Structure 1
Amino acid sequence: MADLQCAARVLVARHGEAAYESELLSDAGGWLTPLGRAQARELAESLRGQRVARVWTSDMARAVQTGEIVAGVLGTDVVVRTGLREFGVGDARGTTGVPDPFAATFAAWLDGDLAARIPGGESGEEVVTRYRAVLEEVADTHRGEAALVVSHGGVMCLALSALAVNLAPSHSRDLPMPHCGLVAMEADADGWVARSWAGQDL
């Protein structure tokens, strides 16, 4: 991040409930269900008092759709960044996902081992690095403002816990991120601090 004169407030939300073309694992984007659209509208209404300057989303359809609904309510625009997408499924692409092919790697990430890698996919270090780059861009763009980032549950739990100086890497282990759950992050020259996690103040 550049030397920030005043903190940026970055609100990071998971997308709304989504449906998918296939039950097999893939990196495809999915689309919002009617409930997911209602969740996105509820998220937007909850943010009316935050004076959100812009909405940033992952390039996956379920995140873009969530961001567009929120931006429409708040009267702002949407910027898309691939660095905000969910971690890739790697060699598990095309499988049923039973048993969970990511459980061991994700557990290692939450234990602080970011060198662990999804077979055929990304390491924790690679995921956090791309995610950090986008959050820093958001923070540099919105000095003294609030911005909303729409992303995905897994990458949020990994990257935000790794980036926030006041959170342990394992913070999210027993705190799954609900659809349209929100994490409030603040950025200044000293780094990232989490102020709330899925409705709980920190």
Structure 2
Amino acid sequence: MTDLQCAARVFVARHGEALYESELLSDAGGWLSPLGRQQAKDLAATLAPERISRVWASDMARAVQTAEIVAGILGVDVVVRKGLREFGVGDAAGTTGVPDPFAETFASWLAGDLAARIPGGETGDEVVERYTGVLDEVSDEHRGESVLVISHGGVMCLALPALATNLPPTHGHEKPMPHCGVVAMEADADGWACRSWADTPLT
């Protein structure tokens, strides 16, 4: 099997439970709660048999903290990429989020209209493009290896079904991602496929 044919196994996990300075909507990074730190330790224990070669993470604090805990236990380094961060809240920053300011945009995304834009923020296409760009970079650097990516629930539930050839676009909406929940993805010359979603195996 050549290097290009050798699949990269990419485990994408949501960060641990986080606390925030304010209850108002914000793009601020937050920080891990005591439970979130324990969740990160448990994630490291779960993935230890996979021989993770590196941890990649969103640049938001709650993701970086999760990545550092896992990487410290597994004895690997951390690479940070802005493209892995959660979608921005746009014009909804500083609001309570009630009623849901994203409902209309999310409904459009789920219906397949990724050109729809969060007011003041990104389109679905823009979110998927920057997220996919990082995962492609990860897979290119780790052919034949296992790697962990720490990211965020919303962007995972949008971008991973859009990327995987064996998932419907609505998969993430129907099965939201818990803290430190893991999606197992494989990338080879034929593209991306999802092998498990939050510990549920897929064919």
Counterpart CA distance in 2 for 1:5 and 1:176 is 32
CA displacement at 1:116 relative to structure 2: 0.8
Q: Which amino acid in the other structure matches residue 35 of structure 1?
A: L
**Once the two structures are superposed, what CA deviation does each residue of 1:51-102 show, in whole Å capped at 9, x if it has no partner?**
0000000000000000000001100000000000000000001101111111
Aligned to 1:176: 176
Aligned to 1:30: 30
Verify the 8 A CA contact 2:28 2:60 in the aligned structure 1: yes
Verify the 8 A CA contact 1:112 1:170 in the aligned structure 2: no
Aligned to 2:107: 107
Tell me the secondary structure at the aligned position of residue 172 of structure 1: helix
Verify the 8 A CA contact 2:57 2:150 in the aligned structure 1: yes
Q: Which runs of 4 or more aligned residues in structure 1 lie more than 4 Å from their structure 2 counterparts after TM superposition?
A: none
Identify the range of structure 1 (4-13 vs 125-134) with the bigger mean alpha-carbon deviation: 4-13
Structure 2 residue ranges without an equivalent (≥5): none
Aligned to 1:141: 141
Q: Which amino acid in the other structure matches residue 198 of structure 1?
A: A
Aligned-CA RMSD value: 0.8
CA displacement at 1:173 relative to structure 2: 1.8
Aligned to 2:52: 52
Q: Which amino acid in the other structure matches residue 200 of structure 1?
A: T
Verify the 8 A CA contact 1:186 1:193 in the aligned structure 2: yes
Overall identity of the aligned pairs, in %: 76
Structure 1 residue ranges without an equivalent (≥5): none
Verify the 8 A CA contact 2:68 2:78 in the aligned structure 1: yes
When normalised by structure 1's length, the TM-score is 0.97
When normalised by structure 2's length, the TM-score is 0.97
CA displacement at 1:4 relative to structure 2: 2.1
Aligned to 1:82: 82
Counterpart CA distance in 2 for 1:124 and 1:152 is 15
Counterpart CA distance in 2 for 1:104 and 1:40 is 33
Verify the 8 A CA contact 2:156 2:172 in the aligned structure 1: no
Tell me the secondary structure at the aligned position of residue 183 of structure 1: strand
Identify the range of structure 1 (108-117 vs 44-53) with the bigger mean alpha-carbon deviation: 108-117
Tell me the secondary structure at the aligned position of residue 65 of structure 2: helix
Q: Which amino acid in the other structure matches residue 120 of structure 1?
A: G
